[in-house]
Structure formats: C-alpha cells, structure tokens
Amino acid sequence: MSKNIVIIGGSAAGPKAAARARRLDQKAIITLIQKEEHLSMASCGYPYYIGGTFDARSALLSTLDGALRDPDYFINVKNINAIINTEATVINKENRTVSYKNLITNETGSINYDELIIATGATPKKPPIDGLDLEGVTHLHSMADTDYLRKLCERMMVEKAVVIGGGLIGMEVCEALIESEVEEVTIVEFLPQILPFLDWDLAKLVENHCVTKAVKIITSRSASRFIGNNGELTGIELDDGTIIDCELAVVAVGVQPNIKLAETAGLEIGKFGGIKVNQYMQTSDEHIYAVGDCIETKSVITGQQVLAPMGDLANLEGRVAGENAILGNKKTFPGVLQTGICKIFEYTAGSTGLSETTAKKLGFDCISSVTSGADKPHFMSAARLISRITADRKTGRILGFQCVGMGDVSRQLATAAMALAGQLTIDTAANLDLPYAPPFSPAIDHFIAATHVLQNKMNGLLTGISAIEVKKKIDSDETPFLLDVRENGEYNQNHIGIGETTIPIGELKKRLNELPEDKDKEIICFCHFSLRGYEASLTIRNNGWKNVNVMEGGISAWPYAMKKQ
C-alpha cells in the first residue's frame, strides 16, 4: 500500500522533503500544502532583486533551466500535489489528519497522512512599538515584501530610509537600498555592534567600510516609535529621543519560529521557542517530522539547542526528513555549526562556529588570535582578509572562525567549517593539504596562516595583543612603547597616530639603541599585517627585552580611526 505523505510549508525545507520522498518512492502519495501563492522561493535572493543585481523576478521562482516552480511543475515533473493559497489549520495526531482552508475560496477540508512533515518556517519579529501599520514600514520576508521594496526603488519613491537591525538581512537590505540609489540609509542596531555573529573588532571593520558608502550606522539604540502623517511614515524616534526623517523603514530584527500549528497539536516545543526534534528530525509524535526555520536543532560545537534559521540548513533538514518519512528513521542530521556569510558592498563577512565572545560566555577556556593577510599572492590582484580563529586552550580543538574583507571570505569559511565538522585541532589544521596555485591562493592559505599564528601563540612563540587591548592601554594612560616596523613611505600613507615610533624592520638591528633602556618596558610591535611585527619581536626578545608583544593583524585589523597624510 502506498504511503501517504503530507507536508505543510512550501518555501525551502518542505519542497526539499517532498522531492527527496518522491525520489525514494515513486508510488507514494505526496501532498504539499502552502499558505502563500508561491512555492520554493529563493528568499535569500530577495535583496539582490531589490538592489538590481538581476531584474528577472521569475528567477526567484524558477529552476536552473528556467521552469517556473508552480503547482503544474510539481505535479507534472515530480508527481507532487502542491496546493497553494491554502492554510493548514489543525493537526489531529490521533486520527492522523490535517485540516485546511483555502484562503481564496474559503473552502475547507481535511487530508489523511501516514507521515507528516511540518515546515511552517518563521515569522518576522515585530518590535512592540507604535506605528508598525504605517505605509512605508515593512519587513523583507515574503515575495510581497520584495515586490513592495522593488517598486519603491524602481520608481525612486524613497530619498531617506532606515533599517532597523544590523544583522544579516538588515545589512543586505542596506546594500540593496544604496545600490537602488536611495540617497540616505541609516541602520539602527540596539546592540553595540552590527553583525552580532562577529566579535566587535571585526564587526567594526565592516561598519567602517559601510561608512565609506555613505551609510549611517547607529548602535546601542532602538526605535521607540514610528512617526506618521495621514497614515504614511515620516520618521522614526529612537529611545534617546533622536528623530530620523524617512519615508521607508525596513524592520529586520530577526525571526521567530512559526509554531502555532504544532503547539496547538500538542507537539513538544523547545526552550527557545522552536519545535523540538531528534536527530531524525522527528517530533514528539513518531509520525510527525519538522524541519527548517520552525525547529530547534543542536549545536555541533556545544551540544546545546539553538535556533538556526538558514536556507541551506532548511534544505539539508528537509532531505533527511523526506528520506525518513519514506524509509523509516535511517538518516540523521548531526546539528549545525551556525555558519553564515553576507556580502556588504565590496566587503564580505562571515563566521562558522563560535565567536570568541560567545565561547567565553558559554564557559570555554579558549584562546584566539587575529590574522591579516591576502587571499592570493600580491602579484595576482590580492585582496585583504582579516580573521579570528578561536580554539580550546587545553585540547587545541578549533571552536570557531570568522573572516571579513574584500578577499575570498567564502572559501576561508568553507575550509574552516570542514575543520570544525571534523573536530580538528589547531595542530592538525596547520598542516592541511589545501589546493594551491597563484590564481587561487598564497602558498600558505590564509586559513592555515591563521592556524600558524594561533599555534605560535599557544606554544609561547608569540605573545599577541589585540587592537582592542592596545587601545585600552592608550586610553588608560598606560605607556607601552609602540613600534611600527613598516617603511617610512608606508607610514606616511596611513598610520594609527597613537604615539608610535617608526623603525623599518631592515634597520631594526642597527637601531636597537632607540628602544627603551628598561628591558622590562612593554614593547608592542606591528606593521601592515604584523608579519614583520612578529619578526621584529623575535629580534627584540633575542636582544634582552622581556615584555614584547605583537599587535595581532597589524594596522589592517585596527578598527579605530587612523591618520593619513
């Protein structure tokens, strides 16, 4: 007898589960119930359609070969009955039925299932403030939101816009609006930094780049109300009383799992508000699976439950659930590393695993280092990368990696994610056999260089100090001897301007007399990337100075203002 599989949700995880189930069983009866008009939307592409990276709206709804993923496509190509504009209203676990209502005709009905897969996704969080219903206040979550923003941008109807939230979506929306020639874009973020998956100093580097694009960024503030006139948005008031004039506000403060249907059915909900599932993507009911943004999953690093609403994970989870719904619980989903990446103008920012800040909050005895470098040799149009790698101090196991810059961040993150998934230590990762040729990488890849820096630090061969720590010393009137070992021409081009002394690395051995007479005086060495700074520290230590540090990442990783000639 053919299995009857019902899937609720038609965005990412649901269609993936349906497709996997069909490939494993050509006779199964598979029904997909979708509340929205559209199916299998490429929602991660919304900002790029708004910003004009591509103009074909249909590309968001089509296969690689251009076939529109509509109900006809699903039934004719995949033999999956996809019902759109229809809301699943009740799950009856005892009778194994799903009740539904067509939102166009109001027709109601029910359908039986042998196995049910819930893929109801997430809904945008809405701050509890006045004015959310004003014309001009929107989210970026649906095709309708996308169409609305694209229309405003195409018709040049917005001069000033505010994005509430500086996370992944907020930053991508910001770029899209600037690319659409919105004259003034302001980001308001209630945390002390944008991109909270990064440590502060790397996030600040991204912020600095955004400022060069005329983006205004306000951190440690939140919106207290939307101001309107005749039902239309005219401005936003912040919690400190500041008023920002604008015609458009995009609220991007995160999403929350859409669990109402599951909760009403009596399924177990996790402590973070997502549907609780096991390694088979199975809920507390053995005949019901759940996947995608509506669930809680497990962190591979910590073993703790987390929310991870990402499109790639939704597809992976859907594949596992679709297979298990057909074959029984044979496939498992191991959990997530919480890898994320975004493009922000010419910059890319991403991370995998834990940031140093998060690792410390979770109680890890961790050690980290910052490395600056290039994604290719200097003669191959190299672009800058700045990264932080974090490891367990005792075992050396890599806990996280984050990277920003104009270089190929994606490849660095992919390598790091594999290292994390394999539970590699710093010592093991330091000798990875990665692909090398000048068009693609330096002889020592940036990720491996980062492991070398941390390896040296863990072995006591390098005493590193972060830019943040250096700034704190200066601000607290400590007086370390700051040594910039770049050439004079480099220094004149740009420098920190905090009282540093310049001695080019090639002259250092002849000019040791210019260093402090007190051999216990703290000396902090640096250069552009701090490779020469490290070499300088070894020379200085070898000549009797005891308290010699290297500013990690050099001035490339300096997140504060610098002076230029």
Phi and psi for 482 in degrees, rounded to 5?
A: -95, 120
Task: Give catalytic status of residue 527 as yes or no.
Answer: no
- What is the Cα–Cα distance from 560 to 274, expressed in whole angstroms? 39
Sheet holding 223-229: strands in order across?
223-229, 232-238, 243-245
Phi and psi for 382 in degrees, rounded to 5?
A: -65, 150
Q: Transcribe 369-431 into DSSP letters.
A: EEEEEESS-GGG---EEEEEEEEETTT-BEEEEEEEESS-HHHHHHHHHHHHHTT-BHHHHTT
* Residues with Cβ within 8 Å of residue 11, at least 6 apart in sequence: 34, 36, 39, 40, 41, 43, 119, 121, 292, 314
**Which tokens sit at 474?**
């200066």
Residue with tokens 């490849």: 411
**3-class DSSP state for residue 476?**
coil
**Which tokens sit at 488?**
């004079």
**Which tokens sit at 69?**
């993923």
Point out the catalytic residue in the list 44, 174, 294, 525: 44
Amino acid symbol at 117: I
What are the residue numbers of the active site?
A: 44
